[in-house]
Amino acid sequence: MRLLISFTLSMFLLIPVKGTTSPIKDCQVKEQYYKDRERGWYFREKCEELPKKEKDEKKKEEDKIDWAKVGDPKYLDTLDAEKFRKLMERVKEEAVYDPKPDKVHAYMKIQDYARVKSVKFAYVWRDVLLKHPELDMTTKNPGNVYGAQARAEILSDEKTKIMREMKDTVGMFFFVSGECPYCHRQNKIIDKLRNEYGMAVKIISSDYCDNSFKDCSVQPNMFEHFQVKATPTMISVMRDAQDRPIFQPIGTGIITLDDVVDRLVFYYRYHKTGQHPSF
């Protein structure tokens, strides 16, 4: 009997009491509605959202495009950047979806307004750069043909100078396989690296040394030590600012001599200074 009474009481407590149900006027906080054990979802109250009709009507009114104002610069000047961007996007969508002459014309006018803004921005940008040349990247990276040619010659001279400086302190391991056709092609680049810059290169083969490979030895264990997983692979031996040896991967596969030199110079500078170049 006691068990029956307890069960009946439990069932009674689970039955929703109509007198307690009342619509929740402010149900914006959904978490409170579902988790509040004193009311809300547990008592089957209806979560009535705030009246949307007025908001929806107001939103529709705001979303309407005033086509007479779209091409008026005075009106467009009153808009902030975000409102102008949204208006321009909506005008574009309307003009594309319903390409009537008046809508396309309005889109062309708002586009022209944006173009004028861009031109003014470009002029101000140039004025600021002239006053602050330290922010102008074209002073170090010229955009015109003559300047680009001059920069290329200057960089070439600098790289040649650094490569000659490196030849006594930097070396390279060239990992190959006798059966690898790309290794023989890349070996021609390695020969140029030796001949033009005097860099010491040690060729490490995984199986056998072909006659075309100079200063070559078969050392499969070196592949494991440097975790070389493909051939040809180039790894340079450099030293950092504290004169500690560093093994720096330079590339895998066929790489041009210019790319090899660029990477050697880049990492040589980096390991000497500990910083990447700013441009």
The domains of the chain are located at 2-43, 61-124, 156-273
CB 199 within 8 A of CB 170: yes
Which strands form 216-218's sheet, in the order they lie side by side?
Answer: 216-218, 200-205, 171-176, 233-239, 245-252
- Residue 27: what pLDDT? 52
pLDDT averaged over every residue in the chain: 82
Lookup result for tokens 């400086």: 165
- Residue 23: what pLDDT? 47
CATH of domain 156-273: 3.40.30.10
The torsion defined by the Cα of 137, 139, 142 and 146, in degrees rounded to 10, comes to: 180
pTM: 0.58
- Residue 167: what pLDDT? 81
Residue 41 has pLDDT above 80, yes or no: no
Which amino acid is residue 263, in one-letter code?
R
| Closest by CA position to 203, among listed 219, 185, 216 | 216
pLDDT tens, 59-114?
555 568 888 888 899 999 999 999 999 999 999 999 999 999 999 999 999 999 99
Q: Which two tokens stand for residue 76?
A: 């467009």
- Residue 269: what pLDDT? 87
Q: What number is the average pLDDT over the span 267-273?
A: 87
